[in-house]
Amino acid sequence: MARAIAVLIGSPGSGKSTVGEALARRLDTDLLCTDTEIEKRAGKPVGDIFVEDGEDHFRVLEREIVAEGLRSWEGVIAVGGGAVLDERTRADLDAHHVVYLQVQFGEAAKRVGMDAARPLLSGNPRTKLRQLLNERLPIYEGLASVTVETTGYHPEEIVDEILPTLDNSGKAEK
């Protein structure tokens, strides 16, 4: 069974995709961004999946792609912020080096803005984001092998914090 080098989790706006790209580049490996993979398979953006097919359909696709990635991906994985709500995903993550990218509310709100591609933040994005953060924080913290603050840091600085948590081969220590 393959094992990902690191799995990045965190709220919307925490930098999972951006930091994931930088980490993968530094380790000379590939990034699996589960939201991007969902869009490829569905043939449409995440926002359209939510509107046209519903959140339940999105979560089924997300669960399948995350499970496949955790079974077979040998690079870096960035999972969507809500993937951790699935009980089976949380159990699967237990065998992996999970990096929780923590971000302060104000910074997350700035980063996500009024992004229509983030359907769970439609309506009042700041209120919805605060609700998501409050709901998911204990889950993120409970899954984390390591927590790295992203507020105010450049992606390369965040990667510098993650790298020492990996062993000399570039593989994660659990």
Q: What is the pLDDT of residues 153-163, one digit of tens each?
A: 999 999 999 99
Q: What is the CATH number that goes with domain 6-164? A: 3.40.50.300
Residue 108's pLDDT band, with cuts at 50, 70 and 90, is confident
Q: Determine whether the annotation assigns residue 118 to a binding site.
A: yes
89 is in an annotated binding site: no
Q: Which pLDDT band, with edges at 50, 70 and 90, does 111 fall under?
A: low
> Is 3 known as a binding-site position?
no
- Domain ranges (residues) in the chain: 6-164
AA identity, residue 53: D
Residue 14 annotated as binding? Answer: yes
| Mean pLDDT of the region 128-156 | 91
pLDDT band at 3 (very low <50, low <70, confident <90, very high): confident
Give me the pLDDT at residue 133, please.
83
- Sort 40 into a burial class: Cβ within 10 Å, 0-12 / 13-18 / 19+: exposed
pLDDT tens string 40-66? 999 999 889 988 999 899 999 999 999
Q: Is 40 assigned to a binding site? A: no
CA 145 to CA 37: how far, in whole Å?
24
Mean pLDDT of the chain: 87
> Does 29 appear as a known binding residue?
no
Token pair 């989790």 in the structure block, residue: 9
Query: Is 147 a residue whose pLDDT tops 60?
Result: yes
pTM assigned to the model: 0.87
Q: Is 35 annotated as a binding residue?
A: yes
Q: According to the model, what pLDDT value does residue 60 have?
A: 94
81 known ligand binder: yes
Check pLDDT > 50 for residue 18. Answer: yes
Task: Give residue 122's pLDDT.
Answer: 52
What is the share, in percent, of the chain residues with pLDDT greater than 70?
A: 85
75 is in an annotated binding site: no
Q: Per-residue pLDDT averaged across 108-137, rounded? A: 66
